[in-house]
């Protein structure tokens, strides 16, 4: 079964609004990462949160991790049209080397 | 400077043909990966090499054969292409590759279309 699943699958907001997307996973993890994929491009790493961390910030990004619920959220504040992309969470189960990516959230920011 | 590069960017071919996709990274990383992204954007790992040694080999048809001549290169050869092989193939690299503590750097992708 798939490890990471994001919701919503698609999100459309106005520029300046905040965007929140969630990721759920199934097994114990070492850390969780978020990536962005612009249309027709490869994935770009955004942020990594370790399993012993609860919250992390990077610029306009805020990531939370709740290992008891096996879930994470990515908040993008004051969104811009350039934030339009698909966002993926990726996890590595404890004891493995395999990254599992979720199905992604397609974010559209309207100018 | 290109960190992870793939060639070709687009590949259109007939069923039954054999094709290769090349990947190179100039980051000095030890680990390289191949992923397949289907039409629903689901990204699935296929293979991973660490210092030219295969460390991940997912349930992939043996028509797919990775080759790593050195740690900066990981090529993907596909024999007897099938319609279901149509997808975007991404190469990625990471510094160490152990335990998922690394950031992965992705190439631009190769869009393979099998007719």
Interface probe for A, chosen from B31, B46, B60, B100 (most Cβ of A below 10 Å), is B100
pLDDT beneath 50: ranges in chain A: 1-2
State whether B45 and A33 contact (CB < 8 Å): no
User: Torsions phi, psi of B55, nearest 5?
Assistant: -120, -20
pLDDT for the residue B1: 64
Q: Do A45 and B42 touch (CB under 8 A)?
A: no
- pLDDT tens for B83-95 read 999 999 999 999 8
> Rounded to a whole number, what is the distance in Å from the CA of B80 to chain A's nearest CA?
26
Q: What is the pLDDT of residues A67-98, one digit of tens each?
A: 999 999 999 999 999 999 999 999 877 777 77
Strands B19-25 and B31-37: unpaired
Dihedral sign for Cα B106, B110, B111, B115, please: negative
pLDDT of residue A29: 85
Nearest partner of B109 among A46, A32, A38, judged by Cα: A38
Mutate to test the interface with A, among B21, B25, B43, B98 (most CBs of A within 10 A): B43
Do B98 and A101 lie within an 8 Å CB cutoff?
no
Q: What's the confidence (pLDDT) of residue A75?
A: 98
Helix (H/G/I), strand (E/B), else coil: B105:
strand
DSSP conformation class of B63: T
pLDDT value for A2: 38
Q: What is the mean pLDDT of each run of 10 residues along chain B (115 residues)?
A: 90 97 95 92 89 83 92 96 96 78 90 97
C-alpha to C-alpha distance for B104 and B69, rounded to whole angstroms: 20
Beta strands B110-114 and B10-13: pairing type? parallel
B95 touches A at CB < 8 Å: no
């Amino acid at each position: 079964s798939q490890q990471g699943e994001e919701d919503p699958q698609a999100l459309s907001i106005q520029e300046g609004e905040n965007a929140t997307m969630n990721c759920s996973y199934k097994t114990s993890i070492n850390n969780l990462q978020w990536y962005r994929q612009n249309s027709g491009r490869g994935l770009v790493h955004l942020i990594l949160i370790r399993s012993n961390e609860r919250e992390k910030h990077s610029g306009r990004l805020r990531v939370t991790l709740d290992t008891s619920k096996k879930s994470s959220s990515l908040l993008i504040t004051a969104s811009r049209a350039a934030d339009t992309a698909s966002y993926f969470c990726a996890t590595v189960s404890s004891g493995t080397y395999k990254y599992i990516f979720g199905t992604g959230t397609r974010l559209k920011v309207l100018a | 400077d290109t960190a992870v590069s793939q060639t070709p960017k687009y590949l259109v071919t007939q069923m039954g043909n054999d094709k290769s996709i090349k990947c190179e990274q100039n980051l000095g990383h030890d680990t390289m990966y191949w992923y397949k992204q289907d039409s629903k954007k689901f990204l699935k790992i296929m293979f991973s090499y660490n210092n030219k040694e295969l460390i991940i080999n997912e349930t992939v048809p043996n028509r797919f054969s990775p080759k790593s001549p050195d740690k900066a290169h990981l090529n993907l050869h596909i024999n007897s292409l099938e319609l279901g092989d149509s997808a975007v193939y991404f190469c990625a690299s990471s510094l160490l590759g152990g335990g998922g503590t690394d950031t992965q750097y992705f190439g631009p992708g190769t869009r393979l279309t099998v007719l």
